Amino acid sequence: GKDKELIRDSWESLGKNKVPHGIVMFTRLFELDPALLTLFNYKTNCGVVPECLSSPEFLEHVTKVMVVIDAAVNHLDDLDSLADFLLNLGRKHQAVGVKTQSFAVVGEALLYMLQCSLGTGYTAALRQAWLNMYTIVVAAMSRGWAK
């Protein structure tokens, strides 16, 4: 439907430039919740935003996040097919100390990145379409915290 079209069209150019857009998203994330930095236990100095943002492991994680978003956009017709993958991804994040509550602020950072890159293309309908997809992804990942 209309939601899928809005998501696919907006991702078309964004998805070709994953790292720069991912950096905008994570820069925003750490502005909103600096404590999340401490969960990145890379050997580089990840207690400090600028160092962290330029460390190769961190940029790899940014790429990993964007690849998952890319997969979701490419599976809009059958997001269920990603359920097992997302459950396992949730488990891995539970293991590194992420709390499910943090996904709300990650979502805000995602929307901020979309707003920055799409400008006037960032409409209420587009925002809602992305939020709907993100909510499904987060619900699937959150199953990894279930006891």
Neighbours of 124 (CB within 10 A): 7
Helices 124-142 & 2-14 angle (0-180, nearest 10) = 90
CA distances from 136 to 22, 33, 41, 83, 103 (A): 20, 23, 28, 10, 12
Q: Kindly state the smallest distance separating residue 120's Cβ from ligand HEM, in Å.
A: 27
- Binding to ligand HEM (CB under 6 A) within 101-140 occurs at 102, 106
Quick note: the x/- pattern for ligand HEM over 35-54, rule CB under 6 A, is -x--xx--------------
Q: Kindly state the smallest distance separating residue 84's Cβ from ligand HEM, in Å.
A: 13
Q: Kindly state the smallest distance separating residue 40's Cβ from ligand HEM, in Å.
A: 5
Neighbours of 118 (CB within 10 A): 16
- The answer to whether the beta carbons of residues 36 and 30 sit under 8 Å apart is yes
Return the range that interacts with ligand HEM (CB under 6 A); candidates 2-10, 14-22, 93-101, 119-127: 93-101
Residue 28 makes contact with ligand HEM by CB under 6 A: no
Residue 80 makes contact with ligand HEM by CB under 6 A: no
Helices 124-142 & 56-74 angle (0-180, nearest 10) = 110
Q: 105 or 118, CB closer to ligand HEM? A: 105
Distance CA(45)–CA(4), nearest Å, equals 40
Interacting residues toward ligand HEM by CB under 6 A: 36, 39-40, 57, 61, 64-65, 68, 89, 92-93, 96, 98, 102, 106
